[in-house]
Copies of this chain bind each other. A is one copy, B any other.
Amino acid sequence: MQKKITTIKDIGEKELLNRLKKFLRAGQIDDDIAEIKSSEKNLLINTDLLVEKIHFSEKISNPKDIGWKCITTNISDLICSGSKNIVSFSVGLVLPPNTHWKWVESLYEGMHEAIKEFGGEIIGGDCTSGEIKMISITAIGEMNQPRLHRGNAIPGDYIVSTGYHGLSRLGLALLTSEKLPSKVQINPELSNRAIEAHKRPYPAVKALKALIECKPQTTSWRAAGTDSSDGLIESIRGICESSNCQAVVSKTSILKDPNWPKDSNWNDWVLYGGEDYELILSLPKEWAEALLIKLKSAKIIGFIKQGKPKIFWDNLEEINIKKANLFQHF
């Protein structure tokens, strides 16, 4: 006899909310509404939508990983705006009535794991039925110095990347058995790191803390930054566009995993792969140099100069930013 699988329609909305109570801040289920304590600091707020088949797929990620990812990608947006204290999350879920209860539980377990790691708490949300799964997360963090903006770069700044790029893109390819850029043997350690990077992205909390701690007294808090969730070149393009300036990037300085294939066919994934969650910063020279000492994984990869928004390699060849538009949503 086949074992009956319990769906959320079987257990009903009231019982569903009751079962999810353990993941929420106490006392938040009776009313639809949640409270945030008054704060001397300004708050930063970010909403991310994740739609099934577009942002996540059960073929390649289990619900626990999806839960982790929807919280951490949101945290990354707060981190790359300069918020190191994550306060709270409001979670909206659209679920088909035949969704398995275990799926929902695992999703929340994954969110909870991420929250244990990075802070904050789930304070409430909404849950409703729909034909496709959709997760809407609004995250709130405390604002502190530096308030990183894409629009804060100025000519003379150094561009700093806080880690490797391309791993998540490789992970996706490995998980979906996609054709690789060239026939090479992938090092097993690289393979593991790539899959982990794709399934369990890790926001650059340590990098932000290092950035705050190493600021030279001689510089102000002015710094530009974003995360590389839409790809390395796209992050730099965003900074150039918002700050109305140009970037010169050193080809040899781009950070790649030590086991990353040497073949140049593999460069595009490093430059345009996306779903990396490193910080891409534009900093005064002294601050950039101080960060390199404080944070071993950081590297200066270029500099900012005056001019209409464009990106060049250090041989002055212009970088094709059209390729950076992979993450356009329409």
The one of B46, B51, B149 that contacts A128, using a Cβ cutoff of 8 Å = B51
Contact status of A35 and B46, CB under 8 A, knowing A54-B129, A329-B13:
no
The CA-CA distance from A168 to B242 in the complex, in Å, is 46
For A99, the closest partner residue in chain B by CB is B330
Tell whether A190 is near chain B: CB-to-CB under 8 Å.
no
Minimum C-beta distance from A21 to chain B (A) = 13
Contact status of A136 and B92, CB under 8 A, knowing A34-B45, A330-B129:
yes
Assess whether A14 is in contact with B48, with CB atoms less than 8 Å apart: no
Most B Cβ at <10 Å: residue of A16, A33, A34, A39: A33
Q: Which residues on B sit within 8 Å (CB–CB) of A34?
A: 44-46
The CA-CA distance from A129 to B90 in the complex, in Å, is 21
The CA-CA distance from A239 to B119 in the complex, in Å, is 33
Assess whether B136 is in contact with A49, with CB atoms less than 8 Å apart: yes
The CA-CA distance from A226 to B32 in the complex, in Å, is 10
The CA-CA distance from A52 to B47 in the complex, in Å, is 20
6 contacts between A and B (CB under 8 A): A30-B150, A36-B42, A49-B93, A127-B329, A129-B329, A130-B134
On A, residues with C-beta under 8 Å from B are: 8-9, 12-14, 16, 30-49, 51, 54-55, 77-78, 81, 88, 90-95, 97, 123-132, 134, 136, 138, 140, 143, 149-151, 226, 242, 328-330
| Extra contacts besides A33-B77, A34-B46, A45-B123 (20): CB < 8 Å | A9-B330, A14-B328, A30-B150, A30-B151, A31-B242, A32-B46, A35-B42, A35-B45, A35-B143, A38-B38, A38-B39, A38-B43, A47-B90, A47-B126, A48-B126, A49-B93, A49-B127, A54-B130, A92-B136, A128-B329
